[in-house]
Amino acid sequence: MTNHIDCSSVYENPMHWPPYTYRDYPLVTSESLQAFVDFLGTENTSSHRKELQPWIPFCTQKCNFCYFPTELMSKNEMNTYLEAMKKSLGMYSKTKYVQTSEFSEIYLAGGTPSIMSTEQTIDLLKFCEENFNISKDREIKVTGCTHDFDLKKLKALSEYGVDQLDLGIQTFDDKIRKLVNLRDNAKTAEEMIKTAHKFGLRVSIDLMYNLPGQDLKVWSSDVQKALDLNVESADCYALDVYPKTKIAEQLESGALPARGDQDDETEMYLQAAQTFNAAGYEKTCHNRFSRIKQDFQEPCMEVVGSGAGFFMGTVGKFSYVDISPAKDYITAVANGKFPISNLFVSSDADEMAKMMMRLYIRLPVNKSEFKEQFGKLPEEAFEQTITKLEKKGLIEIDEQEIRLTKLGDIWRYNVCWEFSPKKADTQ
Ligand code: SF4
C-alpha cells in the first residue's frame, strides 16, 4: 500500500466526467441556431485564450473501450470529408465573432487526425493559419495513434512547426493492448515516441488504468515506462465502461478478465500521482501529470471547431456538437448551414456552476473574479454546497480562493457535480 488517504466513504458512485458534457446538450432548434448565428455576428471582446479545433472523426479500427462517435476510415473518403470540413470552418472564419478572436492553439483532434497523410495534415494546418487570426506564439498539437506515424511524417510535422503529439498509448503491456484492440505493440509505440523526441516534438500520452487484467504492478510499470521515455505529460484516465461499447459486452460475458474495484482504482490513481510527482511532474487539467509550462497557463475557454461528431464547441454561452456520421455532416455543409446537431445555451446558474468547475481542472476559483462576474461570492451563491464540501474535507477556502484538498482531488468530478443545477446522484 503506497498511500494513506482514507477515501473509501466519501461518495458511493465515483464520477469520471464533470457535468456539462456534450451528452446533455439538447437538439438544435431553428430558434437556438438563429440565436447562435446572431451571436457569431457580434464582436468577441473576451481576452480569454481560444482554441481552433478541426475534427477528424476517423480511426483505422475501433478500440473496444471507445465511446466516441468515431467512424472507420475504410468506410469514408478523406479528401471529400476534408473539403466539407474546411468549408464549415470557412463559414466560422467569416463571422465577426471569429474575425475578432485570436487563437492561441490549433488542435487537430478526433478520432485519429494522424490518419491523414502528411500532405493532408500540412494543407489543413496552412488552411487554419490562412483563414483565422492565429497568435504569433501559437501552439500546434496533433492527436493520434503511434501506428499512423513514420519518420517522414514526424520530420515534416516538426519542420512545419507542430509543437506536440498527443498519443493514445493507453498501456505498454502487450497482452492488455491486444485485449483492448490496440493495433501496434508496445515496442513500436515506444520507438515512435523516441523518434518524435528526436525531431524536437513534445509527446503527451494517454494512459488508462483499471483496465481488464491490469493490476497495480502492471499499472506501475506503465507509469514507469512513461517516465523512462521522458514523455512531457501523461493524461491518466480510469477506464469508464460505457453501455453498448464492445468492452461492456466482453466484461458482461466474461470474455475479458475482471477489473479492479473502486478501491483498486483509487489506489492506482494515487500511485501514479505519487510517482509522477516524485519525478517532477505536476497535476493539471482533469487527468494530466505534466512538466510542460504551457499546461499551467489559463486553459482555452472558447473552442471553435468543426467536424462530424465534433463535441467541443464553446463560443460565449453556446456549446455545440456537430452532426454525425460524416456523410450527413457533408450533406449539411453542402446545404450551406452550420452543421450543428446539438446546441446548449448556458443560463446564469450554469455559468456560475461552470466557474466552480475550474476545480476539476485543478484550478482554484478566485472569489473576487466570481463576485465581479456574478455580483456575489461563491459562498453566497452555493452556501449549502460549499459548507457540505468543506465539512467533508474536499475543498478549502481562504480570503482569496476556493481550491480542492488532497482528498478533493481524488473526488474532483463528484465535487463539480455538486454545483450543477442538474445535480446527479453524487452521494
Ligand atoms: S483511436 Fe481513439 S478515437 Fe479511435 S477508436 Fe481508439 S480510442 Fe476511440
Last residue of a domain, one of 271, 296, 321: 296
Q: What is the pLDDT of residue 359?
A: 92
Number of domains in the chain: 2
C-alpha of residue 179 to centroid of ligand 1, in Å:
14
Cα–Cα nearest to 139, from 115, 119, 164, 117: 164
C-alpha of residue 153 to centroid of ligand 1, in Å:
20
DSSP string, 27-49: BP-HHHHHHHHHHHTS-----S-
From the CB of 104, is ligand 1 less than 6 Å away? Answer: no
In a domain, 50, yes or no: yes
CATH number of domain containing 172: 3.80.30.20
Q: Which residues have C-beta within 8 Å of that of residue 293, sequence separation ≥ 6? A: none
| Atom from ligand 1 closest to the CA of residue 67 | 8
pLDDT at residue 23 greater than cutoff 90 = no
Note down the domain range covering 64.
25-296
Last residue of a domain, one of 296, 311, 338: 296
Cell numbers at 234, concatenated = 501523461
Probe target for ligand 1 pocket from 61, 64, 65, 66, with the most ligand atoms within 8 Å of CB = 66
Asked whether residue 281 falls in the same domain as residue 217, the answer is: yes
Strands of the 395-397 sheet, one edge to the other? 365-366, 401-404, 395-397
Cell numbers at 10, concatenated = 466519501
Asked whether residue 121 falls in the same domain as residue 257, the answer is: yes
From the CB of 304, is ligand 1 less than 6 Å away? Answer: no
From the CB of 113, is ligand 1 less than 6 Å away? Answer: no
C-alpha of residue 333 to centroid of ligand 1, in Å:
25
From the CB of 68, is ligand 1 less than 6 Å away? Answer: yes
Asked whether residue 277 falls in the same domain as residue 356, the answer is: no
> Does residue 87 contact residue 122 with C-beta atoms inside 8 Å?
no
Would you tell me the crossing angle of helices 118-131 and 151-160 to the nearest 10 degrees? 10
> Does residue 416 contact residue 363 with C-beta atoms inside 8 Å?
no
In a domain, 1, yes or no: no
From the CB of 59, is ligand 1 less than 6 Å away? Answer: yes
For residue 3, the SS3 value is: coil
Asked whether residue 352 falls in the same domain as residue 230, the answer is: no
Q: For the segment 221-237, what is each residue's pLDDT rounded down to a tens digit?
A: 999 999 999 999 999 99
In a domain, 356, yes or no: yes
From the CB of 145, is ligand 1 less than 6 Å away? Answer: yes
Q: For the segment 374-386, what is each residue's pLDDT rounded down to a tens digit?
A: 999 999 999 999 9
The protein residue with its alpha carbon nearest to ligand 1, atom 6, reads 63
pLDDT band at residue 113 using 50, 70 and 90 as cut-offs: very high
Asked whether residue 135 falls in the same domain as residue 238, the answer is: yes
The protein residue with its alpha carbon nearest to ligand 1, atom 7, reads 66
pLDDT at residue 6 greater than cutoff 70 = no
> Does residue 309 contact residue 68 with C-beta atoms inside 8 Å?
yes
DSSP string, 200-213: T-EEEEEEEES-TT
Asked whether residue 236 falls in the same domain as residue 370, the answer is: no
Q: For the segment 175-195, what is each residue's pLDDT rounded down to a tens digit?
A: 999 999 898 999 999 999 999
pLDDT band at residue 258 using 50, 70 and 90 as cut-offs: confident
Last residue of a domain, one of 256, 273, 296: 296
The helix, strand and coil proportions of the chain, stated in percent and rounded to the nearest 5, come to 45, 20, 35
CA dist., res. 221 & res. 230, Å (int): 14
CATH number of domain containing 359: 1.10.10.920
Q: For the segment 326-349, what is each residue's pLDDT rounded down to a tens digit?
A: 999 999 999 999 999 999 999 999
